[in-house]
Amino acid sequence: MKTCVIFCAAGFDGLLENIENATVIAADGGLTHTNALGLTPQIVLGDFDSLGYTPAGANVFPVEKDDTDAMLAVRKGLELGCDRFLLYGSLDGPRLDHTVANFQTLQFLADHGAEGYLIGKDHIVTVVKDTEITFPATATGIVSVFCMGSDATGVTIEGLQYGLENGTLSAGFPLGVSNHFVGKEARICAEKGSLLVIYDRANGLPV
């Protein structure tokens, strides 16, 4: 897979993997994180209302636009042929609305056949659409599963404290909240529909 690493403006607590061969994009205030790491992103874009100044050579967009800066970065990554997206600085900001927007950005990626992960200081969030995500027996902590959009059907949750076989999750009831890893290989899948999966950052990214 071709990885795109996007740095957004919210809190950042280090990289989870080597990004030497990845396409690196700084979205607005995410440039402060790449600067701190000594990285030169291939692309810098945004409206720069968070950063407070316009960097030389940046792709500048108006504040009044339909896309968030994170979505602009995702679109650019897809345009460049990337199919795996790591969004740092995308969870721990002061704006709850931008966090929800980033959840929807994950759905956008899933709809376009790409994997996406929001990587925060304590959590990782991804969307699983018509497929599955697995965790090793060494995974610990809490994992929560929510329906995104229309009902997710054929939902199976195995190897966790609370299991589900061929069930249905709806956006109107949080049945999948606060499940627990129990020292077994775990699997979460949906035959049809999308699941928002939130788990502890300490477990890392799926292999």
> Does residue 82 form part of some domain?
yes
> Does residue 43 form part of some domain?
yes
Where does a domain end: 121, 137, 163? 121
CATH of the domain at 140: 2.60.120.320
Question: Does residue 63 sit in helix, strand or coil?
Answer: coil
CATH of the domain at 106: 3.40.50.10240
Residue 63 tokens, joined: 């504040």
The H-or-E segment that residue 76 falls in is: helix 69-79
> Does residue 27 form part of some domain?
yes
pLDDT tens over the chain, length 207 residues: 899 999 999 999 999 999 999 999 999 999 999 999 999 999 999 988 888 889 988 888 988 888 999 999 999 999 999 999 999 999 999 899 999 999 999 999 999 999 999 999 999 999 999 999 999 999 999 999 999 999 999 999 999 999 999 999 999 999 999 999 999 999 999 999 999 999 999 999 987
Please tell me whether residues 30 and 88 are part of one structural domain: yes
Please tell me whether residues 144 and 83 are part of one structural domain: no
Please tell me whether residues 144 and 192 are part of one structural domain: yes
pLDDT number for residue 52: 85
List CB contacts of 132: < 8 A, sequence separation 6 or more. 187, 188, 189, 190
Show the domain range for 134: 128-201
> Does residue 206 form part of some domain?
no
Domain count, the chain: 2
pLDDT number for residue 133: 97
Where does a domain end: 101, 121, 141? 121
Asked if 118 and 124 count as a contact pair (C-beta separation under 8 A), the reply is yes
Please tell me whether residues 54 and 89 are part of one structural domain: yes
pLDDT number for residue 101: 96
pLDDT number for residue 82: 98
Euclidean distance between CA atoms 117 and 106, whole angstroms: 7
Residue 75 tokens, joined: 């679109």
Asked if 110 and 29 count as a contact pair (C-beta separation under 8 A), the reply is no
Of the candidates 177, 151, 154, 149, the one whose C-alpha atom is nearest the C-alpha of residue 167 is: 154
pLDDT number for residue 4: 98
Please tell me whether residues 39 and 98 are part of one structural domain: yes
Per the listing, tokens 């627990």 go with: 180
Please tell me whether residues 33 and 103 are part of one structural domain: yes
> Does residue 133 form part of some domain?
yes
In degrees, rounded to 5, the angle at the alpha carbon of residue 110 between the alpha carbons of residues 99 and 141 is: 60
Please tell me whether residues 29 and 49 are part of one structural domain: yes
Q: What is the separation of C-alpha 38 from the centre of its chain, rounded to a whole number of angstroms? A: 23
Where does a domain end: 66, 87, 121? 121
In degrees, rounded to 5, the angle at the alpha carbon of residue 65 between the alpha carbons of residues 64 and 68 is: 115
